[in-house]
Amino acid sequence: MAKSEAPARAEAGTEAESPVTPGRRRAVLAVLCTSLLLCGIDLTVLHVAVPSMSRDLHPSGVQLLWIVDVYSLTLAALLVTCGTLGDRIGRKRMVLGGFAVFGLASAAAAFSASTPQLIAARIALGVGAAMIMASTVAVIRVVFTDARERAVAIGIWTAAHSVGATIGPLVGGLVTERWGWGAVFLVNVPIVLVILAVGARVIPESRNPAPRRWDLASVALSVTGLGGVVYALKQAGERLSVDWAVVVAALGGALLLHAFVRRQRRLAEPLLDFSLFADRRFSTATVCVISCFGSYVALLFFLTQWLQQTGGYSPLRAGLALMPLAGANAVGATTAPWLSARWGNRWSLTGALTVFAGALAVLTLVGETAQYGTLIGPMLVAGYGAGIVMTLGADSIMSAARPERSGEAAAIQETSFELGAGLGVAVLGTVLTATYRVALPAFPGLSPEQRTSVEQSFSGAAETGDGLGASAARGVLGAARRAYDEGFTAVSAVAAACLAVTAVLVALVLRPRREGP
């Protein structure tokens, strides 16, 4: 970290409003860590509230996936551009503006009366979170001028997001069971109001004296391209077929993303510098983070649904049931530096990815939520392996970049985590949706409307069963549970295969750099 002090200062600028005292530094760090904690909680807090939310809003399977992962996809798409914009207009202004957007979007999500309204509110939440996260690390660099203090502050700041994502399901379970699903968003509002009041007093304003050009065309290309690809993926999983709309969306999205990459390579001041990916170690570490965090967040989401939908768990009980996974993840993150010192990042990452993949493979054999004891072992192993990979994967990204490019590498690192979360739920959610629909039997006694409702989601099957006789309802719900079990098994198998391939890639590519004389 000491090597990157000069570039960090140059990037952050020197326009602090007034000298920052030690007490004020601690207050700034507390505000910024609380903001990251909130952003992390909102990544996973809705997971346990999905069944009760589905009973009120009746989203389709694809709409449900949009509700869950549009937040992280929006956050990933806008992180870099919000950072560049904050350099121009002021980091304090960007952070406080992000809090305002986040608070208003939370209130809108809490009182959403339809699925489209909730999806729009989740997009706005992603915008607010991107504004907050993009500028907070630059604020830390301005406030903490000592390299050692700055390293500790960034470590605490980063941990706050991971802690938030880990405790999100438990918070969501506590709040949903007592006040309903809308309250998982409403609790953000008073916290945001306090942060706005305190942040306006303690956060110093700063700008980059020579900011990079903000390229609106690059923003449009990246956002629309990513949206097109994800839309095509979700629609293909729901329809179990590929029609012209899906093909056009997929090809159009891919072409826009290709145009985005080409534009970045031509620009003198690109929004995202792809030359960093020329280093195979950097690109492999990025793939490692995306694969691991995507699988971990998807595991949190689908385990929560599986426990509630087929195991009959309450929201609070489901949140508590995930605590072994979360606790093991924290232990893995804290022991990762020791493993790295003993075995190196390459072999520690390879082993952790293999362990994570093995735990998911075991989950494919469990297949029964009623036997929670059989889930604890795989969850502990999966959480521990994921914690190691998240910590050392992020470290490998930063280590692969030259010190003078640490700021750009940090932006890509943050984007990789959020993109992994969004893509993990999108890809694996498509696998679950497709498997669930294929595994359902014919149901000859149901009308076409009832059949469609059962195919949409497990909550649709439960509602359809409520309108049938006792025997028919048991048949429908039993078939839906078995289909959902098969879907979760398919998700675990695909994630395990993806992690195993990533482990092989890391073992082959992630070699230490040979320093010259």
Distances in Å between the Cα of 486 and the Cα atoms of 133, 179, 235, 253, 440 are 38, 32, 20, 31, 10
Measured distance CA(428)–CA(301) in Å, rounded = 10
| 486-516: pLDDT as tens digits | 888 999 999 999 999 999 999 988 766 554 4
The yes-or-no verdict on residue 34 having pLDDT over 60 is: yes
Q: What pLDDT was estimated at residue 513?
A: 57
**In this model, does residue 387 exceed pLDDT 80?**
yes
pLDDT of residue 367: 62
For the segment 213-229, the average pLDDT, to the nearest whole number, is 85
pLDDT at 415 over 80: yes
Residue 14 has pLDDT above 60, yes or no: no
pLDDT tens readout for residues 438-471: 888 877 777 778 787 777 777 777 777 777 777 7
Q: Which residue has the tokens 């995930």?
A: 322
Query: Residue 287 pLDDT > 70, yes or no?
Result: yes
pLDDT for 418: 85
Give the pLDDT mean for 102-126: 93
Q: Specify the amino acid at residue 187.
A: V
Looking at residue 46, its amino acid is L
12 has pLDDT over 60: no
**Closest to 379 measured CA to CA, from 436, 387, 290:** 387
Of all residues in the chain, the percent with pLDDT exceeding 70 is 91
Give percent of the chain above pLDDT 90: 21
Q: Which of 21-25, 211-215, 362-366, 491-495 has the lowest mean pLDDT?
A: 211-215
Burial bucket for residue 207 (CB in 10 Å: 0-12, 13-18, 19+): buried
Does 1 have pLDDT greater than 50? no
Query: Mean pLDDT over all residues of the chain?
Result: 83
- On the question of pLDDT at 3 being above 50, the answer is no
Average pLDDT, integer, range 291-313? 87
- Cα–Cα distance for residue pair 253/193, rounded to 1 Å: 38
Select, from the ranges 97-111, 158-172, 291-305, 476-490, the one with the highest average predicted confidence (pLDDT): 97-111
pLDDT computed for residue 62 by the predictor: 79
Tens digit of each residue's pLDDT (9 = 90 or more) over 358-386: 999 998 887 666 577 888 899 999 999 99
Q: How far apart are CA 298 and CA 305, in angstroms?
A: 11
Residue 7 has pLDDT above 50, yes or no: no
Alpha-carbon gap, residue 363 to 203, rounded angstroms = 46
Residue range 175-204: mean pLDDT, rounded: 90
Which has the higher per-residue pLDDT, 147 or 489? 489
Distances (CA, A) of 145 to 9, 36, 148, 205, 476: 8, 21, 9, 15, 63
Calculate the alpha carbon distances from 297 to 183, 300, 415, 496 in Å: 22, 5, 15, 14
Q: If DSSP codes are grouped into helix, strand and coil, which group holds residue 46?
A: coil
| Digit-coded pLDDT (tens) for 235-265 | 776 665 667 888 888 899 999 999 998 998 8
pLDDT, mean of residues 75-80: 85
